[in-house]
Amino acid sequence: MKFKSNIFCAVIAATISLSASVNAQTLGLKTVVIDPGHGGKDAGAVSADKKTMEKSIVLDISKKLRDKISSAYPGVKVLMTRDDDSFVELNNRARFATNNNADLFISVHINSVDGKRTAPNGYSVHILGPSNDKNKDTYAFNMEVCKKENEVIMLEEDYSTTYQGFDPNNPESDIYLRLMANSYREQSLIFAQLVDDKMKKGPFTKDNGIYQNNFAVLRLASMPAVLLELGFISNPNDLTQLRKESARNNIAQNLFEAFCEYKSFYDESVGAVKEKAQRTENNDNVQSATSEVQETRSAFSLDESCIYATQVLASSKDMKPDDPYFLGYTCKKMKSGKLYKYYIGISTDLEEAKKFSRDIRKKYPDAFLVKIENDMALRVNQ
């Protein structure tokens, strides 16, 4: 599914669970893992003249990005799955990020298409999720890229055991992957949108958009994660840029600026959640003022004093009810300050709302049930 530029940022507070015992010093984005794709015996995509390999280009861009983040944020731990020409298995890339408690995982790649008379060009950003339309060109594009990036599994020993039977050449494995839920889809989408916006500065002339894909490396990541395809090594113009030191630095700078904005939103939102949790513990008023609740009731068109709904998203953008993000659900929204909050599974009956919410959270693992009553909006424990 390709996302239009209809989400610039969302409030991560709505999708990050924090317990009351969270220490203030642990808040904020503290660790990022950069994953230069391929390496060692896996060259990745190779230019037609065999002089340029994906593994070398992405390593250079990744190092530049690492250095920029480390210089600007001394308190952020910036780790790389590889910092030399070594082969790293896909599951070990994700495991490395998990073991280091990463808050963000960035996998860097270069695209390539063989046998095309007119070579595709430009960049794209990918998050974990199902491609939902087999009859559109975007689905074919998704699957071509996905197959290419997952083929590295075949270079690994005992890959069928490591990946729980996943075979990149088996259609049933693709179906299995597309059914997997991603608890960090919303956060991943936020960062993906920021990258997509920043990369418009160049050096590539075409923005291929943001896609959901079944990349194994994303499926195995237990944190917000994106996979970047930064140009086509099979396109002469893109290849010319990728071979330039200045262009690779520009790419790293674009990614760095996206990281800066993401970290800012992340840190502010985590702080907001902590403040909210503390107010809840002290039995103070939570989250909403009278005017906000009035807006909520107006949006839901319900006269009852008590309303239940499942919140699936909070965003600064006014999204349409038929936006693909809502997966066909009937969606209602309310405006709260500069934010729009989006609800599905709306009911005046608690048990019915709980049933709706259980089903909804199978597709939106970070969604939560809300009760709106007497000018207060409270999260409902399930």
Query: Cα(251)–Cα(203) distance, rounded to whole angstroms?
Result: 7
| E-strand stretches of the chain | 31-36, 77-80, 104-111, 123-128, 207-213, 225-232, 306-315, 332-336, 339-347, 368-373, 376-379
Q: Mean pLDDT in each 10-residue stretch from start to end of the chain (382 residues)? A: 43 36 59 97 94 98 97 96 95 91 96 78 88 41 48 49 48 44 71 93 93 82 93 96 98 96 81 40 33 42 69 78 85 72 88 92 84 67 68
Predicted local confidence at residue 382, as pLDDT: 65
Q: Where are the beta strands (DSSP E) in 207-331?
A: 207-213, 225-232, 306-315
366 SS3 class: coil
CB atoms within 10 A of CB 52: 17
Reference 72, options 311, 259, 220; nearest CA is 259
Amino acid 305 reads S
DSSP-assigned letters across all residues of 117-145: SS---SEEEEEES----TTSHHHHHHHHH
CA-based nearest residue to 196, from 292, 267, 124: 124
* Contact in structure between 340 and 268 (CB atoms under 8 Å): no
What are 235's two structure tokens? 């396109």
For the chain, the 3-state helix, strand and coil shares in percent, each to the nearest 5, are: 40, 20, 40
- Are 214 and 178 a contacting pair, CB within 8 Å? yes
Q: What is the DSSP letter of 45?
A: S
Distance in angstroms (rounded) separating the CA atoms of residues 168 and 46 = 20
Q: Please tell me the distance from the alpha carbon of residue 363 to that of residue 343, in angstroms, as a whole number.
A: 14
* Angstrom distances, CA of residue 103 to CA of 16, 79, 221, 224, 240: 11, 11, 10, 7, 34
| Distance between CA atoms of residues 337 and 74, nearest Å | 33
What was the pLDDT predicted at 33?
98
Name the residue among 73, 38, 28 with its Cα closest to residue 59: 38
Distance (Å, whole) CA 287 – CA 376: 7
Q: Fill in the amino acid letter for 41.
A: K
CA distance 66 to 365: 31
| Statement: the pTM of the whole predicted model exceeds 0.75 | no
Nearest alpha-carbon partner for 251 in 200, 302, 320: 200
Q: Residues with Cβ < 8 Å from 130, sequence gap 6 or more?
A: 1, 178, 179, 212, 214
- Residue 44 burial (C-beta neighbours within 10 Å; 0-12, 13-18, 19+): buried
Q: How crowded is residue 281: how many other Cβ atoms within 10 Å of its Cβ? A: 9
Angle between helices 54-72 and 245-281 (to 10 degrees): 50
Residue 273 CB coordination number (10 Å)? 19
